[in-house]
């Protein structure tokens, strides 16, 4: 069953990537990686791109899966809250253009600050439960893939997608759409890993929930009841 899931992951990622590349090859400009929305727009935007839309959908699905884990797998709730909060922060960041344009300028920064503060406070308050949850599930293929996706999103894409790097490499031939295409496809790869890691983590958390031992307090309570019954 596990190998079948990974085969499905491979086919799904290969198909989506193939569809995106073929769409651009067959209909140049259809990926909308450089859209100028007004005459005063100096840089253009890639926010209308199907690549960005897929990224947002992946983040939404990851958040829903983590919400399911938090609800139905209590022993893994601290980890699920942490990664679910990160998925929400990522989603807000991906929607920054629309939040600024249609609601309020810099609103996404305020929302991320709120989500980040709540996430830090929750993690600190439940740090002991978080440690126990990690001890129960580690080693975990799902968490490993989540970590790999985070490395790509937080470090690799920020460095490789840095505009001065491509200006230096391409020189006079530099076009911003080239940098955007590379950056967005690398981000998409990171989000693919993030989604696979989320799904695998959910399967593992579900297995642990069905096999999880009784809480220590409940075991002690049952022992006291048993000892009390044994006196008569």
Following DSSP, what letter does each residue of 145-165 receive, concatenated?
HHHHHHHIIIIIHHHHT-HHH
The verdict on residue 41 lying in a domain is no
DSSP type of residue 34: S
Query: b/e per residue, 105-136, with b = 16+ CB within 10 A?
Result: eebbeebbeebeeebeeebeebeebbeebeeb
The verdict on residue 228 lying in a domain is no
The verdict on residue 24 lying in a domain is no
- Whether the per-residue pLDDT at 7 is higher than 70: the answer is yes
Q: Classify the phi-psi angles of 194: left when phi > 0, otherwise alpha if psi is within -120 to 50, otherwise beta.
A: alpha
- Whether the per-residue pLDDT at 232 is higher than 50: the answer is no
The verdict on residue 39 lying in a domain is no
Sequence-distant (6+) residues with CB within 8 A of 109 are 96
The verdict on residue 10 lying in a domain is no
Which two three-digit tokens encode residue 165?
């790097």
User: pLDDT tens across 104-135, in order?
Assistant: 888 888 888 998 899 889 888 888 888 888 88
The verdict on residue 124 lying in a domain is yes
Number of domains in the chain: 1
Confidence of residue 57 (pLDDT cuts 50, 70, 90): very high
Q: Which residue has the tokens 């790509």?
A: 152
User: pLDDT tens across 161-177, in order?
Assistant: 888 888 888 888 888 88
User: pLDDT tens across 17-53, in order?
Assistant: 999 999 999 888 888 877 777 666 666 677 788 998 9
pTM of the complete model: 0.80
> Domain containing 183: what range?
46-212
- Round to whole Å and give the CA distance between 158 and 113: 20
- Round to whole Å and give the CA distance between 31 and 51: 7
The verdict on residue 183 lying in a domain is yes
CB 106 within 8 A of CB 97: no
Q: What is the mean pLDDT of residues 202-224?
A: 67
């Amino acid at each position: 069953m596990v190998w079948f899931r990974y085969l499905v992951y491979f086919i799904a990622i290969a198909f989506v990537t193939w569809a995106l590349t073929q769409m651009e090859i067959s209909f140049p400009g259809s990926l909308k990686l450089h859209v100028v929305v007004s005459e005063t727009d100096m840089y253009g935007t890639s926010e209308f791109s199907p690549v960005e839309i897929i990224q947002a959908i992946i983040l939404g699905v990851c958040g829903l899966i983590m919400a399911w884990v938090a609800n139905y797998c209590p022993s893994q709730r601290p980890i699920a809250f942490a990664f679910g909060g990160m998925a929400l922060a990522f989603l807000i960041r991906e929607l920054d253009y629309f939040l600024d344009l249609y609601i309020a300028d810099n609103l996404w920064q305020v929302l991320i600050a709120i989500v980040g503060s709540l996430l830090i406070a929750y993690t600190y308050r439940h740090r002991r439960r978080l440690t126990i949850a990690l001890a129960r599930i580690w080693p975990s293929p799902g968490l490993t893939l989540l970590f790999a996706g985070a490395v790509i999103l937080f470090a690799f894409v920020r460095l490789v997608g840095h505009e001065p790097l491509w200006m230096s490499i391409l020189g006079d031939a530099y076009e911003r759409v080239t940098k955007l295409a590379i950056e967005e496809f690398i981000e998409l790869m990171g989000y693919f890993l993030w989604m696979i890691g989320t799904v695998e983590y959910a399967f593992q958390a579900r297995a642990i929930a069905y096999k999880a031992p009784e809480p220590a307090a409940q075991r002690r309570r049952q022992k006291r009841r048993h000892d009390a019954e044994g006196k008569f």
